[in-house]
Structure 1
């Protein structure tokens, strides 16, 4: 596993744009402000681009690759067309399945089961609909949390850009697959629950 994935703090900054269909992010080290990862949705189909400007945006497929600044692919987060509930796959650098997120029915604020490649339950991603605060928990143990860093009224009103702080608990060991799933989930939260 790449050393960049063993960090505990990630600041995720969405690229701004008034009329943008694709979702692109940079992930920074919050202390040095250095860009440590790029998240790009480069191969967005024509019809998906059109639907991203409609009420059907949450149903459109996505395929985001997270790479180092040097271009080394670390993981992929993808979903096909989603009618009611989302099932999102997370793949490693070799396009091998690491795990999945399965959206829960009737969850207020958003809730996903985080599963490994064999569909064994690892934790739950749960949030509150009144804020941008999400936690990864299992048996009352918190593995990570994601919170939104507000960018200001003007920016929030006229663009769809969001910034997030991801904090992974020391309880998640280095090189553990859960780290890949947690980082992938940040993209999932934005594209499935908050768009």
Structure 2
């Protein structure tokens, strides 16, 4: 009930096996206090995505955000993978995904309903995220959400955009839905 940090788990939808753990463990005392106020949207975050009980794969960091968020994404060794920059006027939410070289790799666009998001560039879709209905009780009495991520098979498994897309799913909830 009084938990300031956000925690997420990623499961394989077919097997139900835990694939990734996403934890926000490096929060300062002041940030924790602000999480219980109306300033929650503006608080910084530092999320670590890792294999269950193991290696850190991705780090997502954002400083204080007053209007538009800019989020940096690093690999497990601290190397910059890219960043996300939120766009000002969009009904369902939008941000551009940049590579480490500063070039736009794709854009995340949400529908006005807030349930469907797509990653694409110039008419080519790389991935899709859909919010799943969790049932009346869970939706009404908790802030827990369930999202389904589908990445196009044409995107190579070692392409840096894959890690950026996974990181962006965390940003959907942290930046657009808080």
Calculate the TM-score normalised by the size of structure 2: 0.97
Residue aligning to 1:191:
174
- 1:51 counterpart residue number: 34
The question of 1:19 aligning with 2:21 is answered: no
**Match of 1:180?**
163
> Map of 1:91-106 to 2, 5 A cutoff?
91-106=74-89
In structure 2, the gaps of 5 or more residues are: none
Counterpart in the other structure of 1:13: none
In the TM superposition, what are the counterparts of 1:28-67 in structure 2 within 5 Å? 28-67=11-50
Following superposition, the deviation at residue 19 of structure 1 comes to 3.1
- Mapped to 1, the partners of 2:55 and 2:35 lie a distance apart of 28
- Partners of 1:20 and 1:186 in 2: CA distance: 21
Per-residue CA shift, 1:28-86, capped at 9, x if unaligned?
Answer: 11111010111000111112112112221110000000011131000001100001000
SS in 2 for 1:50: helix
Q: TM-score, normalised by structure 1?
A: 0.88
Other structure's SS at 2:105 match:
strand
1:154 Cα deviation (Å)? 1.6
Q: Which residue of 1 aligns with 2:123?
A: 140
Q: Which residue of 2 aligns with 1:82?
A: 65
How far the C-alpha of 1:130 sits from its partner, in A, is 1.4
Equivalent position of 2:90 in the other structure = 107
Aligned to 2:114: 131
CA RMSD of aligned residues (A): 1.0
CA distance in 1, matches of 2:53, 2:46: 20
Deviation at 1:146, TM superposition (A): 0.5
SS at match of 1:184: helix
Provide the C-alpha distance between the structure 2 equivalents of 1:73 and 1:180, rounded to a whole number of angstroms. 12
Higher RCO (C-alpha 8 Å, min separation 6): 1
Structure 1, gaps ≥5 residues long: 1-17
